[in-house]
A = this chain, B = another copy of it.
Amino acid sequence: MPHAQASPAPSHHQPRKPCLSQPTLDVVAIGNAIVDVLARADDSFIAEHGLTKGGMQLIDTTTADELYSAMGPGVEISGGSAANTLAGLAAMGRSCGFIGQVAQDQLGKVFAHDIRALGIRFDTASRAGDPPTALCLIMVTPDGQRTMNTFLGASQFLPPAAIDADLIRSARILYLEGYLWDPEEPRAAMRSAIATAREAGREIAFTLSDAFVIERHRADFLKLIDEGLIDILFANETEILSLTQSTDCESAIAQVSAKVPTLVVTRSEKGAIAITGGTRHEVAAAPIAQVVDTTGAGDLFAAGFLAGYVAGKAPAQSLKMGAIAAAEIISHFGARPEADLKALLGDLL
Protein backbone atom coordinates (compact mmCIF):
# COMPACT_ATOMS: atom_id res chain seq x y z
CA MET A 1 0.00 0.00 0.00
CA PRO A 2 1.34 3.42 -1.00
CA HIS A 3 1.42 5.01 2.43
CA ALA A 4 4.64 6.87 1.75
CA GLN A 5 5.37 9.00 4.78
CA ALA A 6 7.91 11.34 3.38
CA SER A 7 6.57 11.92 -0.09
CA PRO A 8 7.67 15.38 -1.23
CA ALA A 9 4.24 16.10 -2.71
CA PRO A 10 1.34 16.40 -0.26
CA SER A 11 -0.28 12.99 -0.15
CA HIS A 12 -3.77 14.44 -0.30
CA HIS A 13 -3.25 15.14 -3.98
CA GLN A 14 -2.73 11.47 -4.63
CA PRO A 15 -5.68 9.17 -4.06
CA ARG A 16 -4.65 5.78 -2.72
CA LYS A 17 -5.59 3.98 -5.91
CA PRO A 18 -6.38 5.32 -9.37
CA CYS A 19 -10.05 6.32 -9.49
CA LEU A 20 -12.27 4.19 -11.67
CA SER A 21 -14.35 7.23 -12.49
CA GLN A 22 -14.49 10.87 -11.50
CA PRO A 23 -16.33 11.42 -8.22
CA THR A 24 -19.54 13.46 -8.42
CA LEU A 25 -19.77 14.20 -4.69
CA ASP A 26 -17.08 15.58 -2.43
CA VAL A 27 -17.82 13.61 0.71
CA VAL A 28 -20.17 10.81 1.68
CA ALA A 29 -20.40 10.04 5.39
CA ILE A 30 -21.75 7.20 7.46
CA GLY A 31 -22.72 8.21 10.95
CA ASN A 32 -25.17 8.09 13.79
CA ALA A 33 -28.39 9.86 12.89
CA ILE A 34 -29.04 11.68 16.13
CA VAL A 35 -31.16 14.51 17.38
CA ASP A 36 -29.43 16.41 20.18
CA VAL A 37 -31.32 17.61 23.23
CA LEU A 38 -29.20 20.38 24.71
CA ALA A 39 -29.73 21.83 28.16
CA ARG A 40 -27.68 23.94 30.48
CA ALA A 41 -26.50 22.17 33.62
CA ASP A 42 -24.28 22.98 36.56
CA ASP A 43 -21.19 20.99 37.41
CA SER A 44 -23.10 19.62 40.40
CA PHE A 45 -25.58 17.99 37.99
CA ILE A 46 -22.70 16.26 36.18
CA ALA A 47 -21.33 15.02 39.50
CA GLU A 48 -24.69 13.94 40.95
CA HIS A 49 -25.46 11.83 37.93
CA GLY A 50 -22.01 10.29 37.79
CA LEU A 51 -21.29 11.67 34.32
CA THR A 52 -17.79 12.13 32.90
CA LYS A 53 -17.56 15.79 31.99
CA GLY A 54 -16.59 16.29 28.36
CA GLY A 55 -17.16 12.64 27.48
CA MET A 56 -19.77 10.60 25.66
CA GLN A 57 -21.51 7.67 27.26
CA LEU A 58 -24.01 5.32 25.73
CA ILE A 59 -27.23 5.08 27.72
CA ASP A 60 -30.18 2.70 27.62
CA THR A 61 -33.87 3.60 27.71
CA THR A 62 -34.08 3.60 31.50
CA THR A 63 -31.10 5.89 31.96
CA ALA A 64 -32.31 8.09 29.11
CA ASP A 65 -35.68 8.50 30.82
CA GLU A 66 -34.07 9.20 34.20
CA LEU A 67 -31.59 11.73 32.84
CA TYR A 68 -34.21 13.44 30.69
CA SER A 69 -36.55 13.78 33.68
CA ALA A 70 -33.76 15.29 35.73
CA MET A 71 -32.36 17.69 33.15
CA GLY A 72 -33.56 21.22 32.45
CA PRO A 73 -35.64 22.45 29.53
CA GLY A 74 -34.01 21.48 26.26
CA VAL A 75 -33.47 22.64 22.74
CA GLU A 76 -33.66 20.01 20.03
CA ILE A 77 -31.19 20.35 17.18
CA SER A 78 -30.13 17.72 14.67
CA GLY A 79 -26.73 16.32 15.49
CA GLY A 80 -24.60 13.24 14.99
CA SER A 81 -20.87 13.69 14.60
CA ALA A 82 -20.41 12.88 10.90
CA ALA A 83 -23.73 14.52 10.04
CA ASN A 84 -22.53 17.72 11.73
CA THR A 85 -19.36 17.57 9.65
CA LEU A 86 -21.43 17.27 6.49
CA ALA A 87 -23.63 20.17 7.59
CA GLY A 88 -20.46 22.25 7.80
CA LEU A 89 -19.17 21.01 4.45
CA ALA A 90 -22.51 21.75 2.78
CA ALA A 91 -22.51 25.23 4.30
CA MET A 92 -19.07 25.72 2.73
CA GLY A 93 -20.43 24.75 -0.67
CA ARG A 94 -19.28 21.14 -0.85
CA SER A 95 -21.51 18.38 -2.24
CA CYS A 96 -22.28 15.64 0.25
CA GLY A 97 -24.26 12.50 0.95
CA PHE A 98 -25.17 10.91 4.27
CA ILE A 99 -26.00 7.35 5.30
CA GLY A 100 -27.53 6.82 8.74
CA GLN A 101 -30.50 5.18 10.37
CA VAL A 102 -33.51 7.03 11.76
CA ALA A 103 -36.80 5.54 12.91
CA GLN A 104 -40.20 6.35 11.45
CA ASP A 105 -41.02 8.91 14.10
CA GLN A 106 -41.13 12.66 14.63
CA LEU A 107 -37.47 13.05 15.50
CA GLY A 108 -36.49 10.89 12.54
CA LYS A 109 -38.45 13.29 10.37
CA VAL A 110 -36.68 16.21 12.01
CA PHE A 111 -33.25 14.70 11.37
CA ALA A 112 -34.06 13.85 7.74
CA HIS A 113 -35.56 17.27 7.09
CA ASP A 114 -32.63 19.14 8.54
CA ILE A 115 -29.97 17.26 6.63
CA ARG A 116 -31.86 17.44 3.34
CA ALA A 117 -32.60 21.13 3.88
CA LEU A 118 -28.82 21.63 3.77
CA GLY A 119 -28.73 20.10 0.31
CA ILE A 120 -27.17 16.87 1.55
CA ARG A 121 -28.28 13.71 -0.18
CA PHE A 122 -29.92 11.40 2.36
CA ASP A 123 -31.77 8.33 1.14
CA THR A 124 -31.43 5.78 3.96
CA ALA A 125 -34.91 4.34 4.48
CA SER A 126 -36.30 5.07 7.94
CA ARG A 127 -36.85 2.06 10.17
CA ALA A 128 -40.33 1.02 11.33
CA GLY A 129 -41.16 0.18 14.94
CA ASP A 130 -39.02 0.44 18.03
CA PRO A 131 -36.54 1.70 19.00
CA PRO A 132 -37.08 5.39 18.25
CA THR A 133 -34.63 7.73 16.56
CA ALA A 134 -31.36 8.21 18.42
CA LEU A 135 -31.16 11.02 20.97
CA CYS A 136 -28.17 12.61 22.59
CA LEU A 137 -28.89 14.28 25.92
CA ILE A 138 -26.24 16.97 26.16
CA MET A 139 -25.52 18.90 29.33
CA VAL A 140 -23.72 22.16 28.68
CA THR A 141 -21.94 23.45 31.78
CA PRO A 142 -21.25 27.16 32.43
CA ASP A 143 -17.73 26.76 31.00
CA GLY A 144 -19.26 25.77 27.64
CA GLN A 145 -18.11 22.15 27.95
CA ARG A 146 -20.55 19.51 26.73
CA THR A 147 -21.20 16.13 28.33
CA MET A 148 -23.01 13.74 26.02
CA ASN A 149 -25.33 10.86 26.83
CA THR A 150 -26.30 8.96 23.73
CA PHE A 151 -29.33 6.75 23.39
CA LEU A 152 -28.50 5.05 20.10
CA GLY A 153 -32.03 3.91 19.34
CA ALA A 154 -32.63 3.18 15.66
CA SER A 155 -29.15 4.43 14.77
CA GLN A 156 -27.51 1.23 15.99
CA PHE A 157 -29.52 -0.81 13.49
CA LEU A 158 -28.06 0.68 10.33
CA PRO A 159 -27.77 -2.50 8.28
CA PRO A 160 -25.01 -3.28 5.77
CA ALA A 161 -27.81 -3.37 3.17
CA ALA A 162 -28.28 0.37 3.72
CA ILE A 163 -24.86 1.04 2.24
CA ASP A 164 -25.55 2.35 -1.23
CA ALA A 165 -22.40 1.22 -3.05
CA ASP A 166 -23.01 3.62 -5.93
CA LEU A 167 -23.25 6.51 -3.49
CA ILE A 168 -19.99 5.46 -1.81
CA ARG A 169 -18.26 5.20 -5.19
CA SER A 170 -19.63 8.57 -6.25
CA ALA A 171 -17.80 10.49 -3.53
CA ARG A 172 -14.18 11.48 -3.47
CA ILE A 173 -13.98 10.89 0.28
CA LEU A 174 -15.74 8.40 2.50
CA TYR A 175 -15.99 9.86 6.00
CA LEU A 176 -16.60 7.60 8.99
CA GLU A 177 -17.15 8.33 12.67
CA GLY A 178 -15.66 6.14 15.39
CA TYR A 179 -18.83 6.50 17.44
CA LEU A 180 -20.62 4.25 14.98
CA TRP A 181 -18.12 1.48 15.64
CA ASP A 182 -19.94 0.59 18.87
CA PRO A 183 -23.05 -1.08 17.50
CA GLU A 184 -22.56 -4.26 15.54
CA GLU A 185 -24.65 -3.73 12.42
CA PRO A 186 -23.29 -0.28 11.53
CA ARG A 187 -19.74 -1.56 12.13
CA ALA A 188 -20.35 -4.23 9.51
CA ALA A 189 -21.93 -1.60 7.27
CA MET A 190 -18.87 0.61 7.60
CA ARG A 191 -16.52 -2.25 6.82
CA SER A 192 -18.43 -2.95 3.64
CA ALA A 193 -18.35 0.76 2.75
CA ILE A 194 -14.59 0.87 3.32
CA ALA A 195 -14.12 -2.05 0.94
CA THR A 196 -16.33 -0.41 -1.69
CA ALA A 197 -14.53 2.93 -1.39
CA ARG A 198 -11.13 1.31 -1.65
CA GLU A 199 -12.11 -0.70 -4.74
CA ALA A 200 -13.29 2.51 -6.35
CA GLY A 201 -10.00 4.23 -5.51
CA ARG A 202 -11.63 6.66 -3.09
CA GLU A 203 -10.03 8.14 0.00
CA ILE A 204 -11.19 7.30 3.49
CA ALA A 205 -11.34 9.75 6.36
CA PHE A 206 -11.99 8.60 9.89
CA THR A 207 -12.60 10.43 13.15
CA LEU A 208 -11.67 8.68 16.38
CA SER A 209 -14.64 10.41 18.10
CA ASP A 210 -14.04 9.71 21.77
CA ALA A 211 -11.46 8.19 24.13
CA PHE A 212 -13.96 5.71 25.56
CA VAL A 213 -14.94 4.56 22.10
CA ILE A 214 -11.25 3.97 21.42
CA GLU A 215 -10.95 1.99 24.67
CA ARG A 216 -13.60 -0.36 23.34
CA HIS A 217 -12.27 -0.64 19.79
CA ARG A 218 -8.56 0.13 19.88
CA ALA A 219 -7.56 -3.10 18.18
CA ASP A 220 -10.01 -2.54 15.33
CA PHE A 221 -8.93 1.06 14.82
CA LEU A 222 -5.23 0.17 14.85
CA LYS A 223 -5.89 -2.60 12.36
CA LEU A 224 -7.66 -0.21 9.98
CA ILE A 225 -4.65 2.09 10.22
CA ASP A 226 -2.10 -0.70 9.84
CA GLU A 227 -3.90 -2.03 6.80
CA GLY A 228 -3.63 1.40 5.19
CA LEU A 229 -7.36 1.85 5.07
CA ILE A 230 -7.34 5.34 6.55
CA ASP A 231 -6.08 8.25 4.49
CA ILE A 232 -7.09 11.06 6.80
CA LEU A 233 -7.38 10.54 10.53
CA PHE A 234 -8.97 13.09 12.87
CA ALA A 235 -8.33 12.95 16.61
CA ASN A 236 -8.00 15.22 19.58
CA GLU A 237 -5.11 14.92 22.04
CA THR A 238 -6.95 12.62 24.44
CA GLU A 239 -7.93 10.35 21.60
CA ILE A 240 -4.49 10.08 20.05
CA LEU A 241 -3.09 9.23 23.49
CA SER A 242 -5.80 6.64 24.04
CA LEU A 243 -5.23 5.10 20.61
CA THR A 244 -1.52 4.71 21.21
CA GLN A 245 -1.85 4.06 24.96
CA SER A 246 0.73 6.72 25.38
CA THR A 247 1.14 9.59 27.82
CA ASP A 248 3.19 11.73 25.47
CA CYS A 249 1.33 13.51 22.73
CA GLU A 250 4.30 14.14 20.46
CA SER A 251 5.36 10.51 20.43
CA ALA A 252 1.74 9.46 19.85
CA ILE A 253 1.50 11.84 16.93
CA ALA A 254 4.81 10.59 15.49
CA GLN A 255 3.70 7.00 15.85
CA VAL A 256 0.33 7.47 14.13
CA SER A 257 1.44 9.95 11.49
CA ALA A 258 3.92 7.37 10.27
CA LYS A 259 0.98 5.24 9.24
CA VAL A 260 -1.63 7.64 7.86
CA PRO A 261 -1.05 10.02 4.96
CA THR A 262 -2.82 12.85 6.79
CA LEU A 263 -3.21 13.06 10.54
CA VAL A 264 -5.13 15.97 12.02
CA VAL A 265 -4.93 16.49 15.78
CA THR A 266 -7.15 19.14 17.33
CA ARG A 267 -5.95 20.67 20.58
CA SER A 268 -8.86 22.83 21.76
CA GLU A 269 -7.65 26.35 22.63
CA LYS A 270 -4.11 25.40 21.57
CA GLY A 271 -5.17 25.08 17.94
CA ALA A 272 -4.48 22.09 15.74
CA ILE A 273 -1.76 20.17 13.95
CA ALA A 274 -1.73 18.36 10.65
CA ILE A 275 1.01 15.95 9.65
CA THR A 276 0.74 15.30 5.96
CA GLY A 277 3.32 13.81 3.66
CA GLY A 278 5.75 13.81 6.56
CA THR A 279 5.44 17.54 7.11
CA ARG A 280 4.00 19.18 10.18
CA HIS A 281 1.62 22.14 9.92
CA GLU A 282 0.09 24.07 12.80
CA VAL A 283 -2.68 26.55 13.30
CA ALA A 284 -3.71 28.58 16.32
CA ALA A 285 -7.29 28.42 17.54
CA ALA A 286 -9.45 31.11 15.91
CA PRO A 287 -10.31 33.89 18.36
CA ILE A 288 -13.73 33.76 19.96
CA ALA A 289 -15.56 36.14 22.30
CA GLN A 290 -17.11 33.43 24.46
CA VAL A 291 -17.23 29.63 24.43
CA VAL A 292 -20.97 28.98 24.66
CA ASP A 293 -21.13 25.28 23.85
CA THR A 294 -18.31 23.08 22.59
CA THR A 295 -20.70 20.50 21.10
CA GLY A 296 -19.58 19.82 17.54
CA ALA A 297 -16.22 21.60 17.78
CA GLY A 298 -14.31 18.57 16.46
CA ASP A 299 -16.98 17.84 13.88
CA LEU A 300 -16.79 21.33 12.45
CA PHE A 301 -13.01 21.40 12.57
CA ALA A 302 -13.10 18.28 10.41
CA ALA A 303 -15.59 20.00 8.10
CA GLY A 304 -13.37 23.01 7.60
CA PHE A 305 -10.26 20.91 7.09
CA LEU A 306 -11.99 18.61 4.59
CA ALA A 307 -13.47 21.57 2.71
CA GLY A 308 -9.93 22.81 2.19
CA TYR A 309 -8.61 19.36 1.42
CA VAL A 310 -11.12 18.58 -1.34
CA ALA A 311 -10.53 22.03 -2.80
CA GLY A 312 -6.82 21.23 -3.02
CA LYS A 313 -5.78 23.87 -0.51
CA ALA A 314 -2.46 23.63 1.29
CA PRO A 315 -2.69 21.83 4.66
CA ALA A 316 -2.01 25.04 6.61
CA GLN A 317 -4.96 26.69 4.91
CA SER A 318 -7.20 23.68 5.48
CA LEU A 319 -6.27 23.82 9.15
CA LYS A 320 -7.20 27.49 9.25
CA MET A 321 -10.57 26.70 7.69
CA GLY A 322 -11.09 24.04 10.35
CA ALA A 323 -10.25 26.49 13.11
CA ILE A 324 -12.71 29.06 11.80
CA ALA A 325 -15.53 26.55 11.42
CA ALA A 326 -14.86 25.21 14.94
CA ALA A 327 -14.85 28.72 16.39
CA GLU A 328 -18.23 29.41 14.83
CA ILE A 329 -19.81 26.29 16.29
CA ILE A 330 -18.62 26.84 19.86
CA SER A 331 -19.92 30.40 19.88
CA HIS A 332 -23.54 29.20 20.05
CA PHE A 333 -25.76 26.36 21.28
CA GLY A 334 -25.86 23.28 19.06
CA ALA A 335 -23.55 21.50 16.65
CA ARG A 336 -24.94 22.78 13.36
CA PRO A 337 -23.57 26.03 11.90
CA GLU A 338 -25.69 29.15 12.39
CA ALA A 339 -23.53 31.79 10.79
CA ASP A 340 -22.74 32.00 7.09
CA LEU A 341 -19.57 29.89 6.93
CA LYS A 342 -18.81 30.97 3.38
CA ALA A 343 -18.78 34.58 4.51
CA LEU A 344 -16.67 33.74 7.57
CA LEU A 345 -14.11 31.91 5.44
CA GLY A 346 -14.05 34.57 2.74
CA ASP A 347 -10.94 34.32 0.60
CA LEU A 348 -9.86 31.08 2.27
CA LEU A 349 -12.56 29.12 0.42
Interface of A with B (CB < 8 Å)? 37, 39, 68-69, 71-78, 87, 105-107, 110, 113-115, 117-118, 132-133, 334, 336
Contacts of A69 in B (CB 8 A): 113
Known contacts: A107-B106, A110-B76. The answer to whether A117 contacts B336 by CB under 8 A is no
User: What's the Cα separation between A71 and B117 when bound, in Å?
Assistant: 7
**Could you name 19 residue pairs across A and B whose Cβ atoms are closer than 8 Å?**
A37-B110, A39-B117, A73-B78, A73-B114, A73-B115, A73-B118, A73-B336, A74-B114, A74-B117, A75-B75, A75-B76, A75-B77, A75-B334, A76-B76, A76-B77, A76-B110, A106-B106, A106-B132, A106-B133
A147 to chain B, nearest CB (A): 17
| A73 touches which of B68, B107, B113, B132 (Cβ 8 Å) | B113
A151 to chain B, nearest CB (A): 12
User: What's the Cα separation between A165 and B268 when bound, in Å?
Assistant: 55
Copies per assembly: 2
User: What's the Cα separation between A73 and B336 when bound, in Å?
Assistant: 9
Contacts of A113 in B (CB 8 A): 68-69, 73-74
Contacts of A334 in B (CB 8 A): 75
User: What's the Cα separation between A187 and B71 when bound, in Å?
Assistant: 33
A-B pairs with lowest CB-CB distance, top 9: A76-B76, A73-B114, A106-B106, A73-B117, A72-B117, A106-B107, A75-B77, A105-B106, A73-B118
Residue of B nearest to A110 (CB): B76
Contacts of A87 in B (CB 8 A): 73
Residue of B nearest to A91 (CB): B73
A127 to chain B, nearest CB (A): 15
User: What's the Cα separation between A78 and B72 when bound, in Å?
Assistant: 12
User: What's the Cα separation between A54 and B334 when bound, in Å?
Assistant: 26
Contacts of A114 in B (CB 8 A): 73-74
> Given A73-B87, A73-B113, list of 14 further CB < 8 A pairs?
A69-B113, A71-B117, A72-B117, A73-B117, A73-B118, A74-B113, A74-B114, A75-B75, A75-B76, A76-B77, A76-B110, A105-B105, A106-B132, A106-B133
Residue of B nearest to A90 (CB): B73
A29 to chain B, nearest CB (A): 16
User: What's the Cα separation between A85 and B87 when bound, in Å?
Assistant: 34
Contacts of A39 in B (CB 8 A): 117
Contacts of A132 in B (CB 8 A): 106
Contacts of A74 in B (CB 8 A): 110, 113-114, 117
Residue of B nearest to A107 (CB): B106
A292 to chain B, nearest CB (A): 10
Contacts of A336 in B (CB 8 A): 73
Contacts of A115 in B (CB 8 A): 73
User: What's the Cα separation between A73 and B109 when bound, in Å?
Assistant: 12
User: What's the Cα separation between A68 and B75 when bound, in Å?
Assistant: 18
